[in-house]
């Protein structure tokens, strides 16, 4: 069985565990086995993420700087492409999707 790290929440520019410290098992539908654990976010975590997003939006040029948005989205696209095999493996394990159904580049 392949296992993956415990996932965390991405809040205020960093990965953090849920404030409660709780996690829940991520069950692979193909085998019924635990393939990893996910942070069990609460409304408190959601409020922290929303507040951080609001600060980031209000404190940056994101909404008015097209070049910045293009740069960030291009980096995101490149990151997805660079990690496509890992992302495909995660999709297969987590959703039970056959590998042939995962879109290519």
Q: What local confidence, expressed as pLDDT, does residue 1 receive?
A: 42
Task: Decide: 30 and 47 in contact? Cβ < 8 Å.
Answer: no
pLDDT digits (tens, 9 = 90+) for 42-82: 999 999 999 999 998 899 888 899 999 999 999 999 999 99
- Please report the pLDDT score of residue 99 as a whole number: 66
13 sits in which H/E element: none
């Amino acid at each position: 069985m392949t296992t993956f790290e415990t996932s965390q929440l991405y809040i205020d520019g960093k990965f953090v565990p849920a404030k409660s410290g709780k996690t829940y098992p991520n069950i692979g539908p193909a085998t019924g086995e635990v393939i990893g654990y996910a942070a069990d976010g609460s409304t408190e975590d959601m409020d922290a993420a929303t507040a951080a997003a609001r600060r980031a939006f209000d404190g940056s040029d994101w909404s008015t700087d097209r070049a910045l948005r293009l740069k960030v989205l291009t980096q995101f696209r490149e990151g997805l492409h660079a990690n496509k095999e890992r992302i495909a493996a995660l999709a297969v394990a987590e959703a039970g999707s056959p590998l042939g159904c995962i879109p290519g580049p």
